[in-house]
Chains A and B, each alone.
Chain A
């Protein structure tokens, strides 16, 4: 029989088996984040040319491990926890097939450990992308395959849970927006894992000698069906978490269910085309193919992200204005709980994801502009803005929420938690901006030595490039410090955090009251819908969220200016045809 617990602070509903699985997945994710962050320190201290910490072989080994642990293991473990939360907790239902879910978890652990062992042994320093015909040890691929199978089981457990909730009628009408977003992530994840299977299974067979040849161009095409789409899982997942955090902290509701859900639908339809982003400078693919795919048909997935960029902070603004923060354009934002890491983490990730990650991503994903950016250090700068700040910082913010709600512990060292999003964001932003600059000067990614020591020929990057990499190094160290603060708070809370009793209030340490919108437990068998009083009110002439609209226009101006600056830069290089 399923057993449930209602969190006395938030009113969130936990199925006992789902709760254990969420805890296990979140903790596993944090462990791999620790590994990834530690390896990341080695990477940035080597790219900082004046420090140049590691020898070449160790550097490439560490870089391989950093990429896989950060981009795949940490994030997907945490996303599985989010899927279980968005289904069983938000729909107040039991989790489907918990034994299968544990099997999936076990496979993911075995796979992740196997892959890490392969990298640690030193003969699989092939980067996360492992482009054939460069070959890793067989258990490098096997680890990834096992991990993917485990994650796929998690996806089906999520879908099964949705079915159970609908059959048991635990909610009325449509699933909540947050669950809808999680469903989007799940659908993209299944596509992603299918692409992964199509390319990694033959590559594994090739590494053990059963297949003679893997075409190098085909490998890149299908591998990026895995590699880029997996980042689109992250986008869908962290946008859902943004809506969740806005709902919990502010009682925010979507400005329009229709608009937000349509934007998620655009993700499902178009995001997967983005594997083309990595193939724009490749031979063998036509310009028509590149233009259509790199722009997600006609930038329809970018449109979706721009919509979320308005509606997520817009929903916060509407909720804040309803509470009386109506002065001027930005009182709602100034009076937001900036000392609460759940809010600051959420808001920084939103801004940096949009302004830096989003804009640079579209610019370098433009077919011709890619020529001046492909494989430079501009590329990792972009995806640190999207994944390390966008996704990872969002998940960190969510963790601060889950520690009291899911783990029933008070935050350990709340002052450190309070500052953590600031340190992490500042460090990451510094690193990202200066890596973007260095990339524009031609500094390459995945490169051990920008001095080219020992090469038969020689080349000197401009002095500015060295300065930029040094500042990026300082930013990177600061970001690792921010990551360490997160892990100290998290691990400290689980080990030493005060156990919360039944009457403890949420975020007592930050003085933030619980959102009034949280569940009541009056009707535990069926999920209460929002009161009818709060009907969406639109069309009254004025804007509900003028401050957010102004921010969105600021984003657009930056976007347009930066986009055309890059065309101008492209026009200055050698003519090609």
Chain B
């Protein structure tokens, strides 16, 4: 008569189930289905979804795209890192490497940009603060997301995937200006 003894009824799978168990299984199943369908629902009606767009790439290839953008749209420098202001609606690039996010971006509020992200060496974590959007940046892969900053101000990219002893030095900036 216990959970650690064999069932008393040999044909235990034919024993009827208690009322609260049936009720609870029903309630739980409905809740599980609601949670499941929330995800496709948000893909259709929600505004925060990751795109499925990603490419395999190499560090030199991605670096070349970044350098091209920096050469074309550089407007200044902060702490030795170029500040870049690409046109609204364009493709913008940011790379993670030991231990910085490069370059600094200046974007316009309420404009959409195709943001390309990749890593030059190890895994990095793109953690946009204080908005709190967090993405995994993997070497050899280029992630493309369309981002629409809806607040103006100074935003910081913290690295939140461990990347060695200088992990805590790895910060980047995105400035969003009212147009």
Contacts and interface: CB of A to CB of B under 8 A. Distances in A.
Contacts of B142: 283
Interface in B37-96: 38-40, 42-43, 46-52, 54, 56, 78-81
B18 to A, nearest CB: 4
Given A258-B12, A303-B25, A546-B20, A366 B3 contact: no
Contacts of A259: 17, 21, 25
B9 interface: yes
A374 B6 contact: no
Contacts of A552: 24
B56 to A, nearest CB: 8
A530 interface: yes
A563 B38 CA distance: 11
A256 B17 contact: yes
Contacts of A282: 136, 138
Contacts of B21: 255-256, 259, 307, 310-311, 314
Interface residues of A, number: 122
Nearest to B56: A284
Nearest to A368: B42
A307 to B, nearest CB: 6
Contacts of B81: 456-457
B173 A457 contact: yes
A256 B18 contact: yes
B171 A457 contact: yes
B20 to A, nearest CB: 4
Given A368-B39, A567-B38, A574-B150, A257 B12 contact: yes
A128 to B, nearest CB: 10
A457 B79 contact: yes
A contact patch SS:
loop
B13 A545 contact: no
Given A374-B134, A574-B151, A176 B4 contact: yes
Interface residues of B, number: 94
Interface in A250-287: 251-259, 279-284, 286-287
Contacts of B137: 283
A371 B20 contact: no
B141 to A, nearest CB: 5
A287 B49 contact: yes
Contacts of A220: 123, 136, 138
A375 B161 contact: yes
Contacts of B159: 444
Interface stretch (A93-101, A337-345, A535-543): A535-543
Interface stretch (A155-163, A292-300, A474-482, A485-493): A292-300
Contact of A375 (B5, B40, B127, B173): B127
Contact of B160 (A246, A256, A445, A549): A445
Given A303-B25, A534-B8, A371 B48 contact: yes
B8 A455 contact: no
Contacts of A328: none
B141 A576 contact: no
Given A251-B1, A298-B36, A559-B31, A281 B136 contact: yes
Contacts of A517: 1-2, 5
Contacts of B150: 574-575
A527 interface: yes
A535 B17 contact: no
B87 to A, nearest CB: 19
A247 interface: yes
A287 B40 CA distance: 9
A525 interface: no
A248 B19 CA distance: 25
A373 B43 CA distance: 18
Contacts of B18: 255-256, 538-539, 543-545
A575 B39 contact: no
A35 to B, nearest CB: 21
B24 A576 contact: no
A324 interface: no
Contacts of B128: 574
Contact of A216 (B3, B15, B139): B139
Contact of B40 (A216, A291, A452): A291
A454 interface: yes
Interface of B: 1-10, 12-13, 15-21, 23-25, 27-29, 31-33, 35-36, 38-40, 42-43, 46-52, 54, 56, 78-81, 100, 117, 121-123, 125, 127-143, 145-151, 156, 158-165, 167-173
22 contacts: A244-B4, A252-B2, A259-B17, A283-B137, A283-B141, A284-B138, A284-B141, A307-B25, A315-B3, A367-B42, A368-B42, A371-B50, A374-B134, A442-B132, A457-B78, A457-B156, A517-B5, A518-B2, A519-B5, A530-B6, A534-B1, A556-B27
Given A134-B122, A368-B39, A444-B125, 20 more contacts: A247-B5, A255-B21, A291-B40, A298-B36, A299-B35, A306-B28, A307-B21, A374-B125, A374-B135, A444-B160, A456-B79, A457-B173, A459-B129, A529-B5, A538-B15, A545-B20, A556-B31, A563-B35, A574-B150, A575-B47
Interface of A: 56-57, 60, 90, 127, 131, 133-134, 171-179, 215-217, 220, 243-244, 246-248, 251-259, 279-284, 286-287, 291, 295, 298-300, 302-303, 306-307, 310-311, 314-315, 362, 366-368, 370-376, 440-442, 444-449, 452-459, 461-462, 515, 517-519, 527-532, 534-536, 538-539, 541-546, 548-549, 552, 556, 559-560, 563, 567, 570-571, 573-577
